[in-house]
Structure 1
Amino acid sequence: MKIVIAPDKFKGSLSAMEVCNAIEAGIHQYDPAIETIKHPLADGGEGTLTILQNHFNLKSVSVMVKDPLFRDITTTYKHNENTAFIEMANASGLQLLEESKRNCCHTTTFGTGQLILDAIKKGFKNIVLFIGGSATNDGGVGMATALGYRFYSESGDEIVPIGKELISINSIDSQKLLFDIKDVNVTVVCDVKNPLYGPNGAAYIYGSQKGASAAEIEMLDVGLNHFSKQVSKYLNMDVGEMEGAGAAGGLGAGAVCFLNAKMQSGIDFVMEQTGFNQLLDNTIDLIITGEGSVDKQTIEGKVIKGVSERAIENQIPFSILAGKIEDYNLIKNNLRPHNLMAITSSTITIADAIQNAAIHLQRLSFQLIQNFYNTINNTQ
């Protein structure tokens, strides 16, 4: 038997490769003769560069930039000969802020713009920007400000490029850019399809997890709507309803209108770059995938969704292992996994699941393979 192990990370607990190792251990505990292929994945959010590094020999560049609260930090991006790979979470991510400091009314993507500008100045013509895990809701105006765009209020003052100031933008000046937009080819990789504003937009869907109150979320949404109108007026671009515009607090929209970027699905990009599709020939008996939290967002464009589509296309059974599962029936009915199992249960708390994830995954994968063998034997 040959099994492909292709999970995402279990956020806050295990990297994608550590998940692979735990699942492999459980499989080999059941039967050491089973052949396993470990192929960790990501969906374009934080951790994607680590996945690419597993497959390619990328080099790192260290840069001092501003974090989401304009504090100096040193962070990195990676590159090969002609392409810079930038993870916005490294400069503007929620992971950089302690919980008490999180509020996307006051955060900026300025540091992400500094990383992009550094790559441009170093001569990289192709930039791949991964935009998951943001602490921001500024529509990308912070990034744009670092690149030379200027945003002015009705009184003619330059605004501070943070979320709560989007409502104050009265004009956009692109006359003093620090780069030539025609010389750079930017691809934005993300894992969500939300529009910029509205009930499914950046503020209402993600604002609370970035520290915004209900009243602040309403204000931020009004700001994003206003921002889109100013972009239409001054840059002649309509980004409000664009799929993925709301990713990373509107950085999806910002990258398109300020960098002329092209959007690409995160999981599609990672699978294409790492050769996942080429693994799935008729010698594969099972694919095991998973992530920390499986819920209704999983069916939108996460790793598990991408794996399920390719498994079904190639007529290969696949199973899902998760830290916790919400919307069990929705996942089961939409993705049709052979098995869907979670670490958390009536006897295992979330804290236990996070702290001892590797042990629990090994146990679950043993049970999964045992059940898979029993199913095969019963149908023969």
Structure 2
Amino acid sequence: MRILVAPDKFKGSLTANEVCLAVENGVHLIDSSIEVIKHPLADGGEGTLEILQNYFKLETISVLVKNPLFKDITASYKISKNTAYIEMSNASGLQLLEKNEQNCFYTTTFGTGELILDAIKRGFKNIILFIGGSATNDAGIGMAAALGYEFCNSKGEKISPIGKELLNIAEIKRNHLKIDVNTINFTVVCDVKNPLFGINGAAYTYGSQKGASTQEIELLDQGLQNFSNKVEKYLHTSVSTIKGAGAAGGLGAGAVCFLNATIKSGIDFVIEQTRLKEHLKKGIDLIITGEGSVDKQTIHGKVIKGISDIAQENNIPFYIISGIAKDRELVEENLKPSAISTIVDLNVPVEEAVKNADFYVSLITSNIIKSIKKANK
């Protein structure tokens, strides 16, 4: 029997590698003869480069940039041959700010633009931008400002490239660009498909998680609409209906209109880059996947969705292991796993579940293997 183990991380508890090891341990507790193929994954959000590092060699470049509040920090990105891999969260991520500093009404992606500019100055012609985990809702105007774009209000004054100022953009200038976007291939990797604005847009979906008040979220959404209108007027690009435009506070849209980038599904990109499907050539009897929390977001571009697609295409049964499961019926109906098993189902206190998640993942795995063996008798 050959089992493919391909999970995401359990955020705040286990890395994807640690989940793989816990599952392997659980399998071998029941049957040491079962072959376990460990293939940790990510969905294009923060931590994706850590996963890619498992599959091919990446070098690290460190740069002094601005954090989401324009304070100096050292951020890094990865390089391989002629490609630079940049996680926007390293320069513009929510984890860079204290809780009392988090408010996407006032934050910027300027530091992300500085990382991009550094990579271009070093001669990289392919830039992969991972845009999960942002602290921002500036539609990428901070990133663009670092690259030489200018944003002016109705008085012709340059505005600060933060979320609050989106509503005040009257003109977009590109007279002083520091790059030629036509000579560089930009790919944006993200794990959501939200539009730029509206009830499912960047501000209304994620603004509160990034510290914005109800009133600020309304203003941010209006700002994103204004941004869309001005982009169409001055850059002749329509971003209002692009899937993923609302990712990372609108950076998805910003990357398209400022960098001429192509947006790709995070999990599809990672599956392709890590050559997961090559395991199928030798035959796989079962797939085990998982993430910390399963919910309605799981069915849209997350690791488990990618695994579900592969499992169904190849008629392979797959199991989901997670810390907690919300919207269970919705996930079961859409992704069709053989079962969803959670640590919470074991009646374990949350603190204990987080602290000893590896033990409980192993336990759940052992129970899965036992049930399969019993059914096959």
The TM-score with structure 1 as length reference comes to 0.97
Q: Deviations over 1:120-168 (max 9, x none)?
A: 0000000000001111100000000000000011122211111111001
Give the paired residue count.
377
1:234-245 residue pairs with structure 2 within 5 A? 234-245=234-245
Deviations 1:333-368 (A, max 9, x none): 111101111111473233222222111111111111
One-letter identity of the residue aligned with 2:150? R
Partner of 1:188: 188
Q: SS of 1:280's equivalent?
A: helix
Q: Distance in 1 between matches of 2:349 and 2:162?
A: 38
Give CA deviations for 1:177-209 in whole Å, capped at 9, x if unaligned.
011111111000011101000011001111111
Aligned counterparts, 1:189-268, within 5 A? 189-268=189-268
Match of 2:342 in 1: 342
Aligned amino acid, residue 183 of structure 1:
T
The unaligned stretches of length 5 or more in structure 1 are none
- What does residue range 326-341 of structure 1 map to in structure 2 within 5 Å? 326-341=326-341
Determine helix, strand or coil for the equivalent of 1:136.
Answer: coil
Matches of 2:263 and 2:250 in 1, distance apart? 13
- SS of 1:132's equivalent in the other structure is coil
Deviations 1:55-81 (A, max 9, x none): 001111011111111111111100111
Counterparts in 2 of 1:26 and 1:327: CA distance versus 1, 3 Å: same
- Residue 20 of structure 2: aligned partner: 20
Matched, 1:11 2:11: yes
Partner letter of residue 260 of structure 1?
N
Secondary structure at 2:54 match in 1: helix
* RMSD over equivalenced CA pairs, Å: 1.0
Is the CA contact (8 Å cut-off) linking 1:204 and 1:221 kept in structure 2? yes
| Pairing 1:132-171 to 2, within 5 Å after superposition | 132-171=132-171
C-alpha distance in 1, partners of 2:104/2:346?
Answer: 35
The corresponding residue for 2:176 is 176
1:71 aligns with 2:71: yes
Q: Which residue of structure 1 lines up, in the alignment, with residue 293 of structure 2? A: 293
Counterpart secondary structure, 1:43: coil
Q: Distance between the aligned counterparts of 1:129 and 1:61, measured in 2? A: 15
Secondary structure of 1:55's counterpart equals: coil
Q: Distance in 2 between matches of 1:210 and 1:16?
A: 25
SS at match of 1:54: coil
| Matches for 1:254-333 after TM superposition, within 5 Å | 254-281=254-281, 283-333=283-333
Q: 1:2, 1:286 within 8 Å by CA — same for their partners in 2?
A: yes
Q: Which runs of 5+ in 2 are unaligned?
A: none
8 Å Cα contact 1:281/1:314 also seen in 2: no
| Aligned residue runs from structure 1 range 57-136, under 5 A | 57-136=57-136
When residues 95 and 301 of structure 1 are mapped into structure 2, their CA distance, relative to the original with a 3 A threshold, is: same
- Deviations 1:38-64 (CA, angstroms, capped at 9, x unpaired): 000011000110111000011110111
TM-score by length of 2: 0.98
Contact 1:196 1:241 (C-alpha < 8 Å) held by counterparts: yes
